[in-house]
């Protein structure tokens, strides 16, 4: 019973740490995007990904585009779907 409680606390602690790190990473990514925009630097990586996604979108395979985007960027499902929908509407 004690072992189970210790294991549960360890899992909870790890979950909290991962959640905190994910929030920090998202914050840093937003800051990087702001810096890139401010400096007027072209984001060639994003352009390349967008071009790849457009191939899937043009073939009517938005789900595949979402999957590729998630693999390349680590976005969650909702974030990737929103991005692909916005890209498709351009």
Domain count, the chain: 2
Question: Among residues of the chain, what percentage have pLDDT more than 90?
Answer: 71
DSSP state of 60: T
What are the pLDDT digits (tens) for 16-37? Answer: 999 999 999 989 989 988 888 8
Residue 59 lies in a domain: yes
The first and second tokens of residue 45, run together, are 């990586």
Can you give the residue range of the structural domain that contains 51?
42-90
Q: What is the pLDDT of residues 25-77, one digit of tens each?
A: 989 989 988 888 888 877 778 889 999 999 999 999 999 999 999 999 889 99
What average pLDDT does the chain have? 92
Q: Is 48 part of any domain?
A: yes
Task: Let me know if residue 82 belongs to a domain.
Answer: yes
Write b or e for each residue in 6-35: b if 16 or more Cβ atoms lie within 10 A of its Cβ, otherwise e.
eeeeeeeeeeeeeeeeeeeeeeeeeeeeee
CA distance 33 to 13: 31
26 found inside a domain: yes
For residue 27, the model assigns a pLDDT of 93
Q: First-to-last CA distance in the chain?
A: 57
pTM for this model (two decimals)? 0.58
Within-domain flag for 20: yes
């Amino acid at each position: 019973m004690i072992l189970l409680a210790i294991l549960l606390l360890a899992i909870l602690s790890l979950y909290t740490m991962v959640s905190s790190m994910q929030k920090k990473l998202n914050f840093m990514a937003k800051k990087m995007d702001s810096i890139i925009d401010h400096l007027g630097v072209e984001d060639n990586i994003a352009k390349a990904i967008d071009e790849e996604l457009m191939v899937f979108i043009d073939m009517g395979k938005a789900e595949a585009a979402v999957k590729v985007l998630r693999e390349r960027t680590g976005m969650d499902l909702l974030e990737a779907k929103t991005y692909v929908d916005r890209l498709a509407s351009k």
